[in-house]
Structure 1
């Protein structure tokens, strides 16, 4: 065998082996989703974000809620019979507010029951989506997160506090612009939460939830575990179907050289 042919075979294998692996993985995911649908008698939709690696050149990139996600989920909900319940399996660090709110409104408007299932975490925009559902079911160690708006990487509430603590003459124009956007973002988020929670909580409970989750009481990455959710009167239950965990195993978190966690099952 010539070296040219050898390198050609290696090149072809480099291209096609990842394709075959992805095909096999997608087949297993589809099979497991259908199995969960059969067991739970629901339509299963997944919104699962992992850090992924481009198969050929090995560059990692982080996924988050984006417009493509909202388009796909809206399409899936629209194609679901109005009398068919939906289970949304949610695993995400958050993402674009526009996309998260579109998904939340679509869930809120679905005539039949919608459950959000959280095996590990659903932060920020993920929490916004979860709050729109009829039921939230989490693993005993899973968490949600605050939904306070972020402006240019800074909490909106923190920007406003900085502006309030200084004399107007000492504040640069850019900070003032951020402050204006921050005020609008907070008001818009408050109104949105009132809309999706109107039939789930009374007015006092909604106001309390907004104060806790939208106004910087917690850092943006603070984990809202079951105890915190209970203290905020966010109704939820603990205990996911075993097959949800099996499905999550089909979304492996890729390592660079070696896995960080080992255990023997």
Structure 2
């Protein structure tokens, strides 16, 4: 049977620790199903999960009921199969750099500003961030190539990198099932009904709730029974 691991919030270091522990303790001959419902998260955390998932000897399936953006997409790249709802989406992987006052900008756009204006016409701060942006893009390429090259070949892996990281799209661009298939990703555009039932149990992740749970298969979530006196607006 599968070992199920739902991930349903912003991915942080605590999440990566929990998921890596779950993967590490899963028997090597047991397939893993990782359910992703996340807007993304830290590159470090997402890449740790992706590498751990890739290294598991048995079959790996990532399930995306609604969306797995940014870091969620990075994790999905490590799977043998990606099961998506027909209307679920993945997202671009262009690194986002945070400036002062919490303003964030995509790494490709920072480099484009310097290229178009010239190094003599931008501030030292912009040049500093341009240097970081270049390094972040190189690092993301290294991560993606390590995840994909052995499965897709170098040419296809580089094409996927260019499509997801180069800044062709905004960071919230929805990569649909059709688009993911065109990229050559191993996408299946249907998921089991019990996955939706499981998602009903997680309407919104709260700060105090864990983002990771381990569910050894078989597991059939049941909907909470509402009493006749219950009412909702």
Normalised TM-score (structure 1): 0.74
Partner of 1:214: 165
Q: Does 1:100 align with 2:60?
A: no
Tell whether 2:45 aligns with 1:116. Answer: no
What are the equivalent positions in structure 2 for 1:1-265 lying under 5 Å apart?
A: 41-49=1-9, 64-152=10-98, 153-253=104-204
SS of equivalent to 1:198:
helix
Please list the CA deviations of residues 67-98 of structure 1 after superposition, one character each: whole Å capped at 9, or x if unmatched: 00000001111111011000001000001000
How far apart, CA to CA, are the structure 2 residues paired with 1:169 and 1:201?
41
CA RMSD of aligned residues (A): 1.0
Q: Post-superposition shift, 1:199?
A: 2.2
Secondary structure, aligned partner of 1:253:
coil
Structure 2: 5+ residue runs without aligned partners?
99-103, 206-233
Write the distance in 2 (CA, Å) between the matches of 1:219 and 1:166.
Answer: 21
Give the count of matched residue pairs.
200
- For 1:155 and 1:104, the matched residues in 2 are separated by 22
Secondary structure at the aligned position of 1:176 is classed as helix
Cα separation, 2, equivalents of 1:69 and 1:167: 41
Query: Which stretches of structure 1, 4 residues or longer, exceed 3 Å deviation after superposition?
Result: none
**Structure with the largest fraction of helix:** 1
Deviation at 1:253, TM superposition (A): 3.3
1:165-208 deviation line (CA, Å, top 9, x unaligned):
11322211110010000000000100110100022212211111
Larger RCO (CA within 8 A; separation ≥ 6): 2
Match for residue 215 of structure 2?
A: none
> Does the CA contact (< 8 Å) of 2:31 and 2:60 recur in 1?
yes
Return 5+ residue gaps in structure 1 as ranges.
1-40, 50-63, 255-265
Q: Which structure is larger by alpha-carbon Rg, 1 or 2?
A: 1
Residue 16 of structure 1 is matched in structure 2 by none
SS of match in other structure, 1:75: helix
- Equivalent-residue separation in structure 2 for 1:169 and 1:148 (angstroms): 26
1:198–1:168: structure 2 CA closer, same or farther, 3 Å change rule?
Answer: closer
Asked if the contact 2:7–2:36 (Cα under 8 Å) also holds between the matched residues in 1, the reply is yes
Q: How far apart in 2 are the matches of 1:167 and 1:141?
A: 42
Does the Cα contact within 8 Å between 2:80 and 2:186 map onto a contact in 1? Answer: no
Distance between the aligned counterparts of 1:216 and 1:73, measured in 2? Answer: 29
* 1:227 counterpart SS class: helix
